Structure 1
Amino acid sequence: MKFHTPSFMLGFGSAVVVMGTARRLKPAVVEIGALGLHLARLGRAVVERQREHAEDLWAEVEDRARHLRQAPRRARKGATSGNGKHVPSGTGTQVGAAPH
């Protein structure tokens, strides 16, 4: 492989420019890095909030499913009185309630 002087000069010049401007670019790089970190934390907070919302929604779905699964059992239990006759709900008097 041949030594190519113009490529060497361009590479060497680029390295000198980067080394010379490193002190001036460092504050900008630090600010950009801090902004990126802040945005990443904000994004993580949004994701966590949405995940919590989804978990709450799932808990409500499970509660509703449990309620629907238990509804037929409650209907069977409350459909008959102690003597086996059907007692419509809301028509009996409460214990200790004064008659109308």
Structure 2
Amino acid sequence: MLYCKKIQEKKEEKNKEEALKIFNRQEKERNELLLESQKIATNDIKDLFKIAAVVIKSTDPAEIKKCMLSLSHIATTVKETAAAAIIQDQPVQNQSTSQHGIY
């Protein structure tokens, strides 16, 4: 019986280690994706200023409409990126992580 208990404890320890590895890998991937989305949003903001300059200089209604659509698309991208960052920054706590002090 003691032998079975030790085997079970080793399995549990191995499972905990594997879960921690998976968690760390997912955190790294999440951070990389978030960084990439922030870079995209930053580039879109730069484009926003360029388009705004064109709109200010333009008197052609069709050109202004085209620029406004681009501005709307960029604003949506930036807004979605920010919302995703806020959601992802909220820690997910479950019973196993809170009990074992991973956070």
- TM-score for the superposition, normalised by structure 2: 0.49
Runs of 4+ that moved beyond 6 A: none
Query: Which residue in 2 is equivalent to 1:73?
Result: 47
Deviations 1:27-81 (CA, angstroms, capped at 9, x unpaired): 2222111100011001111111111111111111001111222222221111233
Percentage of matched positions with identical amino acids? 9
Distance 2:44 2:51 in 1: 11
Distance 2:59 2:8 in 1: 76
Structure index of larger Rg: 1
Query: Which residue in 1 is equivalent to 2:25?
Result: 51
Distance 1:72 1:46 in 2: 39
What displacement does 1:83 show? 1.7
Query: Which residue in 2 is equivalent to 1:94?
Result: none
Query: Higher helix share goes to which structure?
Result: 2
Structure 2 unaligned runs (5+)? Answer: 61-103
Distance 2:20 2:54 in 1: 52
Q: 1 or 2 for the larger relative contact order (CA 8 Å, sep ≥6)?
A: 2
Query: Which residue in 1 is equivalent to 2:15?
Result: 41
Query: Which residue in 2 is equivalent to 1:83?
Result: 59
Aligned counterpart for 2:36 among listed residues 59, 62, 79: 62
Query: Which residue in 2 is equivalent to 1:87?
Result: none
Query: Which residue in 2 is equivalent to 1:32?
Result: 6
Quick one: which amino acid aligns to residue 34 of structure 2? E
How many residue pairs get aligned? The number is 58
Structure 1 unaligned runs (5+)? Answer: 1-26, 85-100
